[in-house]
Structure 1
């Protein structure tokens, strides 16, 4: 139902608290006065901070999201260390034991590689191809990567039920490009990776580690050549392929699916959704053709790499030297308490989350966020009515989809039960392996049951948000409703530019290049008239071209096709949030605070949330494998396409941010 604009404006005004006069929420101390906003929004509002801030030695980047993540970590540390002092419930005893097991570095050093010897013995025991394939299915249940990863997920083709999916996996470097491209940066990383593999094999006491490391790298390179790139994986119609047992054999005839599914504890499963069938076919060929000894070394290295951070200091340092230094540019390993907190979060996330929301997310904060999300959904619906490139039929289907959005805020309505998980204060590796199996088997219990719409994909203390296309829902964990994204004592304009654009961003994912291929009930189907889809694709292609021109590192450009979904969401999120702010004014002129009009403050608030700096190695990693554009371009790209931005700052030809009106892209 579409509310009258004046009624919507009233709701929007009620959603945000009143602000004391003169408190705009703009962080003037971070501005670079030598840069005009008309030339570079990102540098103008963040430039002084960028010049003065230093990335901590144990971080690969530093900015607004990192600062809020650090706050979340410190809060969780307080919760967990309080549990160590007062383990007065089953949940706190689990948290305390898990945290203590990681913090006991002396015990890890004494044990050396002993905790993973049972896993290595399983690998040593492989004597034939069937045994190898069964172990390829079994190891993912314990959190170890193999070339194929089986898991249970919502069925994209039937969103009321679950299905077993098999996804491509198993590379030790972040993406296939690290194996296949010949730029100096990729070559350098490959050399570091080879040294790392050799170091792990040497630590494991295996003879001739250099030769064996090269053989494993060659095997991974063959896998990488056959993996689909991130752009191909964005096509849900091509990357979801359901097969019965006979179809699996036909798709990958040399792969022993029965042995693989048996190892994965899925022997009764008859239908599997294979995301990349051509890759699975190659895996089958390589399982059949490559020497068993090379496969054993590959699996040994996957186990060593997956557990090195839990073992003795030499192994943990070897892992950091590659994953931390070579891949991300960090010079120092994170303090042990941070790594322990991350493990507790990943293992007992909802037990921690229950205490987190009780302490840091009061009921009024949840209600405020729900109101904000609801009002931005209404603003989005009004915007849909004014989209001039959609036919009435497709527009009606889009409104129907939007009306069926489900909004989850803060925390789940039902907390996860971890009582069946065995956690011991003196068994770190065992705790991690048991937790991985516990979570894996928990998901297996979903098979054959209706989809649980109350399940969450993130914990409350997570600094992130998401849209789920098959479930048609937007999810905002509690940790997001905090400065710098939401400031209770700031004026409305800055909050609309910050948390407002984040909410509208997630709403927009339902209408990006991927989400728009699902209808309001989560079914993967084409609800568009052909002419409308063609118009949408043309607009998306223009956005792809814009971002592909951004040079993020010398000779390394943003992948406009890989990032197009996030770029559509950024573009639409900013435009919808600005519209919502205008409606909140109820026809009255905005107040001027700190020398800026309300309209200007929306865009400044937007520019501020992308404040950050990043190490070169990490920037390359994200350019290669991340579906998000770099943060500076996330600030610049959407603003340049916003006519409201150009009007607010009176941009002129020759300004760095100027874009002719005819060239500005508006999708939703």
Structure 2
């Protein structure tokens, strides 16, 4: 569960503010105004549109750059981190780095990907062997053999999801999990809906398939036929998939089978034989998130002619490698993705590479990033701030008037056992055995993919490693893991506008304080609350308390269902429920913690704004930004987060303090009667 998102209490109750660490950060440039009135639109009443009031001028004066699909606080900070990473990678490309060293591997990976002349000469050669192997398939059994080979060799992941992870009901144990998959478009709805926007995307997708097949030398008629075949197969798989809302129920996704019994569900897939071939030998049980999907898959493989299945498997290779091949493939990929997202200009090659390296070799690149850009004082400050907010959330749980003492005790135990990870891992992964060659980009990609697959499979038989970091250091995000009962804040997000040593407490509490509160609240949202203190999927609620929680959660669903995107699309309150609950709790916890600070208890204005106004404006400016219409429409379907506009005030309209801070009155568009304001945590 990721955010896509202080005051330090020491032993004996001694308090330090951020200014205690200013000396550690004077080398960094700081914005002069943390809440800049020039970014606001004072022509709009805060009670009518708080997002526009807080961010209107900024949005108007900061159009989305051509290479971006969204532009706002997250993207600006993300771009700054990208620029840092690119600089690190360029420095690492200097010749003479010791073989096998961190700099040699990330530097040579970057150099190989930047060698566009070599990549252009290769054309689609990196996939020729795979395409030829697929061409020789003669039966449905051969289709399964090929799919198994591709997975074991990290070439592609046809038909379904597969991997090793925690057993939700036994969180110290690693187990093999099978999940639905086999499709390319962002969501099942893209195959099943027939509105004008969706049919336009479907047509573009078929054209994309046709273009890529044509580039490999397939004649136009066959390429177009392949597009129809691939879409039809994927559409049948999409019909069998659970919706994103259905997948929010962790109990529904927990279906444990013996390997023998799972084999009986899918006559064409002999898992007793196939699992060892996929490097998962010696397993007696598996978790299957959607058993019905695998019955459909089995029927599909058994009934579809082999020629069509070969087209489907070939497409899996093509789509995976296309963005890394010569320019015709890259251009075709961008043209299709621009229909989905509205992006106007291709992201520069060096930025695409930096993102790829961060995602695939993050613990190598992350070491260089953390050494240069993350100061120990920031970690110390964050630990204290997290502890402070834990105390506040605990106090709020104790005061709940709708929860029994029995459930409160379990909730407080869970809160007390939160693990907190800040900045970067304490145990860097070394990627032992991974070889990176300066003149072999395609080979590097294959070797990285193979290493990562082998590493994942190697976790079988080992206890769950709770020291692993879920995100890389430059990541602008934060997360909560219900299976590990941990919250994570990478170094990348611990910067302005979320956090700044020089900022006043209102800014830091409204920024990173609300982020911390958000992630803590995830432990008690509609999904997280189903996991116990040890990370096990276990119902620790009394029935009455669970019913009361659901009644409050339903009100949150109703509130966000009322918000619209692109004038007509409605936010999916059920899909976004967990994030909305986390915002609601996060802002409330951060505000209560802020009120314990010296500034929070004062009335002193800065730039004409009261401390409370600065707190709520700080939170709102985190969500300033805009999205291209295509991206906004896509996010409504696939993103469990509400649009930034509604996150800026969706929680605030339920808080009495916001009404008081901005003198919001009946008649204002955002006004909610006191009895209608939703309070959960």
CA distance in 1, matches of 2:508, 2:165: 35
CA distance in 2, matches of 1:599, 1:355: 39
The 1:86–1:410 alpha-carbon spacing in structure 2 relative to 1, beyond 3 Å, is farther
CA distance in 2, matches of 1:203, 1:647: 63
Note if contact 1:175-1:624 (Cα within 8 Å) is conserved in structure 2. yes
Query: Match for 2:190 among 148, 160, 178?
Result: 178
Q: Report the Cα offset of residue 143 of structure 1.
A: 5.4
Secondary structure at the residue paired with 2:651? helix
Partner of 2:141: 130
Partner of 1:317: 331
Q: Report the Cα offset of residue 664 of structure 1.
A: 0.7
Partner of 1:221: 235
* Over 4 Å off, 4+ runs: 5-13
CA distance in 1, matches of 2:145, 2:78: 39
Query: Match for 2:545 among 497, 522, 532?
Result: 532
Partner of 1:67: 76
CA distance in 2, matches of 1:305, 1:259: 28
Partner of 2:389: 376
CA distance in 2, matches of 1:299, 1:191: 20
Q: Report the Cα offset of residue 13 of structure 1.
A: 4.6
CA distance in 1, matches of 2:415, 2:57: 40
Q: Report the Cα offset of residue 491 of structure 1.
A: 0.8
Q: Deviations over 1:510-542 (max 9, x none)?
A: 000000000001110100000000000111111
Partner of 1:493: 506
Note if contact 2:46-2:664 (Cα within 8 Å) is conserved in structure 1. no
Partner of 1:425: 438
Counting only pairs closer than 5 Å after superposition, residues 142-291 of structure 1 correspond to structure 2 as 142=154, 144-207=156-219, 208-291=222-305
The 1:308–1:6 alpha-carbon spacing in structure 2 relative to 1, beyond 3 Å, is closer
Q: Deviations over 1:64-90 (max 9, x none)?
A: 111111111111111111111255332
Out of 397-406 and 632-641, give the one that drifted further. 632-641
Q: Is there any run of 5+ residues in structure 2 with no aligned partner, and where? A: 1-6, 23-30
Q: Report the Cα offset of residue 149 of structure 1.
A: 1.5
CA distance in 1, matches of 2:51, 2:21: 25
Note if contact 1:61-1:615 (Cα within 8 Å) is conserved in structure 2. yes
Please report the RMSD computed on the Cα atoms of aligned residues, expressed in angstroms: 2.0
Note if contact 1:243-1:272 (Cα within 8 Å) is conserved in structure 2. yes
Partner of 2:566: 553
The 1:6–1:432 alpha-carbon spacing in structure 2 relative to 1, beyond 3 Å, is closer
Q: Report the Cα offset of residue 340 of structure 1.
A: 1.4
Note if contact 2:266-2:294 (Cα within 8 Å) is conserved in structure 1. yes
Partner of 2:129: 118
Q: TM-score, normalised by structure 2?
A: 0.94
Note if contact 1:137-1:262 (Cα within 8 Å) is conserved in structure 2. no
Counting only pairs closer than 5 Å after superposition, residues 453-602 of structure 1 correspond to structure 2 as 453-585=466-598, 588-602=601-615
The 1:449–1:439 alpha-carbon spacing in structure 2 relative to 1, beyond 3 Å, is same
Q: Deviations over 1:237-281 (max 9, x none)?
A: 110211112220233344332454244222432211111111111
Q: Deviations over 1:424-453 (max 9, x none)?
A: 122212211110110111111111111111
The 1:527–1:291 alpha-carbon spacing in structure 2 relative to 1, beyond 3 Å, is same
CA distance in 2, matches of 1:54, 1:358: 34
Q: Is there any run of 5+ residues in structure 1 with no aligned partner, and where? A: none
Secondary structure at the residue paired with 1:85? coil
CA distance in 1, matches of 2:74, 2:370: 19
Out of 515-524 and 290-299, give the one that drifted further. 290-299
Q: TM-score, normalised by structure 1?
A: 0.96
Secondary structure at the residue paired with 1:162? strand
CA distance in 2, matches of 1:397, 1:660: 33
Partner of 1:34: 43
Partner of 1:388: 401
The 1:211–1:409 alpha-carbon spacing in structure 2 relative to 1, beyond 3 Å, is same
Query: Match for 1:295 among 309, 318, 339?
Result: 309
1:17 matched to 2:19: yes
Q: Report the Cα offset of residue 499 of structure 1.
A: 0.7
